[in-house]
Amino acid sequence: MKKVGDLGEYLVSRWLKLQNYELLAHNWRCRWGEIDLIVRDRQSQTVAFVEVKTRSANNWDSDGLLAITASKQQKLLTTASLFLAAYPDLENLPCRFDVALVSYQGRRSLTSGTEYQNILDLIVTSQVEIGQAIAINGVQLRLQQYLRNAFE
């Protein structure tokens, strides 16, 4: 079964697309870690490595922000360096690390692949805005905050 966190990543990906970003990679992995989204701003050509945190209400870590520890930042930096080594045409572009915080309300587990697909279909066709909820069948997602240059 797909995870709620994946839906948060798709929501942020849709928002970035509407902000004129090109998706370069989704869940790019290497032995050192994973980066949720890697995008390029079509205007400035800046490459952004985006960590997405999807949390339900009353979470312990400030909507995911406290989960971006120094250790996590180091893993993201190492992983981003390996991504750039794998794509040398991007390594001379400006880069930054962003964090997207997504809130989720609804059932913890989605009951079927069809239900998940219905939510995903809604996300990819919606006008996503920061603070605006997308809701279907008792599930609600909202891009709460997008932090550019969240860390060095």
Q: Closest Cα to residue 105, out of 73, 71, 70, 142?
A: 142
The whole-number pLDDT of residue 1 equals 34
pLDDT of residue 18: 97
Q: What is the pLDDT of residue 2?
A: 52
Strand pairing category for 139-151 and 133-136: antiparallel
Residue 143 in this model has a pLDDT that exceeds 60: yes
Location of structure tokens 């400030």 = 62
Task: State pLDDT tens for residues 3-50.
Answer: 788 999 999 999 999 999 999 999 999 998 999 999 999 999 999 999
Query: What confidence category does residue 109 fall into, taking pLDDT thresholds of 50, 70 and 90?
Result: low
β partners of residue 52: 100
Instruction: Specify the pTM.
Output: 0.91
